[in-house]
Structure formats: structure tokens, C-alpha cells
Amino acid sequence: MDATEKLALLAQLETECCELNHGPDTHHEKRAAVDYIIQPFGYTVNDIEEVAVREMIVPVCAECAEALQGNDWTLFYCFDCCGSQWLYRKFAKNQYRHNILWLRGCPECQEDFGGLYFTDLKALMDNPVFVSQVSIPNVA
């Protein structure tokens, strides 16, 4: 993401609504977005060079942004259908330590599960990256 893309996204933020699941019977509610989650998908060439094939950019409200930065919730996000589901870690059978687990297909959109993608711990240290926090290097 370059400076122009970041500026354009932040300029559009005023008209965006959160795209995450807020529970049963809330799909009609419009919650104003305060930021975007950004997740690059790609591959590593070597220890230094990484190639982002595409970036998933999801608008989030203040409540979701707070939950994504805490240690109580894990978000499952399907990047095929853009569906999401929150899991409260205290009631989970498994011990989840990631804030977001990215899914390739989910029960809502596909019969076959395509895989689970973790946030790159080396680059992101287990926390989601928000567009407002992305630093753009100065180009002289």
C-alpha cells in the first residue's frame, strides 16, 4: 500500500460501515467504520523479500477494532464470501491465540474447506494491522 492508496481509503472512511458480524439479527444495522483491517496475502521469496499478491481490506467499527486488539475474542473471516464469526476465547474448546483466523471457504459458502491462514507472526506480531497504523516510507 502506498501513500495515495492509504489517503484514498481514509478519505472514504466517513461513508463506510463495519462489515463484520455483530450477532444474530443485526445484519440490518449500520455501524460506522472507524478504520480498516488490512491483511496482505502473498508469499515470501527469501528472508527479506515478501510479495503481496493482494490485500484484504475490511472496514471495522470502534467496537470490533477494540475486540481485535484485545485478548478475549478471535475473529474467523472467510475471504471467499467475506463472512465473519466471532469466538469468545474463554468458552472455546481450543486455545486460540490469534486475533484473526483467515479462512479459505467456510460452511456458509462452500462444501469443501480450503484452508486456514494465520496472521504472519514475524511481520505482525499476532495483532491485526489497521490502515491508520500503516507507515508509508518517505520517498525522496
Classified as helix, coil or strand, 101 is strand
pTM of the model: 0.74
Distance from C-alpha of 113 to C-alpha of 89, rounded to nearest angstrom: 22
So what's the pLDDT on residue 139? 47
Query: Averaged over 103-132, what is the pLDDT?
Result: 66
Say what the pLDDT of residue 18 is: 94
Q: Which residues pair with 103 in a beta bridge?
A: 78, 116
Using one digit for the tens of pLDDT, what is the confidence trace for 19-49? 999 988 887 889 999 999 888 776 677 777 7
Query: How far out from the chain centre does Cα 127 lie?
Result: 10
The b/e string for 109-127 (b: 16+ C-beta within 10 A; e otherwise) is eeeeeeeebebeeeebeee
Taking each continuous run of H as one helix and of E as one strand, the counts in the chain are: 3, 7
Q: Taking the mean position of all CA atoms in its chain, how far away is CA 112?
A: 22
List, for residues 55-112, the tens digit of each pLDDT value.
Answer: 788 999 999 999 998 889 999 998 888 899 999 999 988 888 888 888 888 888 877 7
Q: What is the pLDDT of residue 90?
A: 92
How would residue 134 be classed by pLDDT, with cut points 50, 70 and 90? low
